[in-house]
Amino acid sequence: MTLVHTAGTEPGLPAPTAAPAPGPVPGPAPALRTAPEDPAVADAATVFVATCDLAGQVRGRAVPGSDHASALRSGTGWVPVDLAISSFGPIAPDNVFGSRGDLRLVPDPATGVDIPADGDHPALRLYLADQTLPDGEPWPCCPRTFLRGAVEELRERTGLDVTASIEHEFVLGGLPSSPPFSLARYRHAEPFGSDLVRLLEQNGLQPENWLPEYGDGQFEITLRPGTAMAAADRAVLLKELVRDLARRRGLPVSFAPLLTPDGVGNGVHLHLSLRDAEGRPVLFDASRPGRLSALGARFSAGILRHTPALTAWTAPSPVSFLRLTPHRWSAGGIFLAERNRESLLRICPTTQLAGADPAVQFNLEYRAADATANPWLALGVLIRAGLEGLVRDYDEPTVWPEDTDASVLAGVPALPASLEEALHALEADDVVRSWFDPRLLATHLSVKRSELAQLAGLDEAARIRKVADVH
């Protein structure tokens, strides 16, 4: 996987070390399906314009297909307090918006996807949208706007650009028992699997791998890397396309971090790479520990420094931290390592088969995330944390070799043990708090504490079931 830096322009930021001549460099991710006159739209009675909220839920409004062009121009109405809806339905009671204010959901044509008619299920055109003020100006609390701002600030202050990819794991119910990673499980999921790959390809989401995973009924789908915004948009769309297809096939599906207390759990892995203005990869340096360049080490230092606060955005459900413990192959501690699936930041493997260039493939994988997070916010906070590492004087982190014994890693800093601990870490981290409009920060804290309160008094298994029911 390839992932993105530009010549340093921030005062005190050194120019990147020379990178090997790059192999093929992915350009901007292709538009999904954009043309209003697309014949496929003619089959859709309605057009759904959507956003993804702080609960990781996709919400929005539909307009008649005949109003498709008008919706692209001026969007649909929306309300600020919709951002304060919790995973379980109720609006967080102490939100800052109340009954006041109005917004517009303005669709991005590049995000348009088509769900074809299927039996009794009519065709649908789906767009992701920016939340704007009624005059079209950006709304500072819009999660998609937050990611756009993070990408722009990184580019303006350092000249760097990001390429990213987001991997998802989920569980399909209703299938016969089968061994992990087996052909039998792969075939048991047919025709769902082939239908899913075809649907993703038809909509330009560029599926890379579709595979049976380790847990019971568990599968993983990976998409090819693209720009940070394309990667996050695809992550939002992927979950909805999987859920919609599963619903049409009569298969229960869950992206929840855990389905049972002793289960394997579903993670989300965020892959990041940096390139310069000429498209050259800058994370790779064969002479350094882990082959991670000095610039890459500084970017990593920012993420590691602010991890406790970041997890309040990347693993934000009441049960997320039950999965993020040692010996679960999720994230067993706050450390950077070569090819170690217990590390928070993993330096991923590369190959030289068929003459492949390792510098082009080289990327970092952030592992303390799950599908209860908003992808725009999760990726945005990682970019902003990495930027802090580039412009501040943080200590360079240790790169733990692949063969480091687990006993040596027992002393690395631990992740927060609960969502409440992560929220406290967020409140205590002045740097991370400074990235957010105060209303967005307050609403996130309110929504998450509301979700904790709604599950108060339930045992662990019951809390897991409640979260699994909505994710």
Place 9 in a pLDDT band, splitting at 50, 70 and 90: very low
Q: Name residue 46's beta-bridge partners.
A: 64, 124
Identity of the residue numbered 319: V
Contacts of 470 (CB under 8 A, 6+ apart): 55, 57, 87, 88
- Looking at per-residue pLDDT, the higher value among 14 and 42 belongs to 42
The 3-state DSSP class for residue 353 equals helix
pLDDT of residue 13: 39
Query: Per residue in 249-290, pLDDT tens?
Result: 999 999 999 999 988 899 999 999 999 999 999 999 999 999
Query: Per residue in 164-193, pLDDT tens?
Result: 999 999 999 999 999 999 999 999 999 999
Q: What is the mean pLDDT of residues 135-160?
A: 97
Query: Per residue in 116-135, pLDDT tens?
Result: 999 889 999 999 999 999 99
- pLDDT of residue 136 exceeding 80: yes
Is the previous residue joined to 191 through a cis bond, with omega within 30 degrees of 0?
yes
- pLDDT of residue 22 exceeding 80: no
Percentage of the chain beyond pLDDT 70 is: 91
Identity of the residue numbered 230: A
CB 114 within 8 A of CB 199: no
Query: Per residue in 44-101, pLDDT tens?
Result: 789 999 999 999 999 999 999 999 999 999 999 999 999 999 999 889 988 899 889 9
Distance CA 67, CA 85 (A): 28
pLDDT of residue 404: 86
Place 451 in a pLDDT band, splitting at 50, 70 and 90: very high
16-20, 429-433, 449-453, 466-470: range with lowest mean pLDDT: 16-20
Mean pLDDT estimate for the chain: 89
- Looking at per-residue pLDDT, the higher value among 413 and 427 belongs to 427
Question: Do β-strands 343-347 and 333-338 pair in parallel, antiparallel, or remain unpaired?
Answer: parallel
Query: Per residue in 216-233, pLDDT tens?
Result: 999 999 999 999 999 999
Structural domains in the chain, CATH included, are 39-139 (3.10.20.70), 144-470 (3.30.590.10)
Query: Per residue in 161-172, pLDDT tens?
Result: 999 999 999 999
Q: What is the mean pLDDT of residues 314-319?
A: 96
Distance CA 188, CA 178 (A): 8
Q: Which letter does DSSP use for residue 415 in this model?
A: P
Distance CA 295, CA 190 (A): 45
- pLDDT of residue 39 exceeding 70: no
Cα distance between the two ends of the chain = 27
- pLDDT of residue 10 exceeding 80: no
- Looking at per-residue pLDDT, the higher value among 264 and 347 belongs to 347
- In the structure encoding, which two tokens stand for residue 195, read together? 């239908």
Please spell the DSSP secondary structure of 9-67, one letter per residue.
Answer: -STTPPPPPPPPPP-----SPPPSS--TT-HHHHTEEEEEEEEE-TTS-EEEEEEEGGG
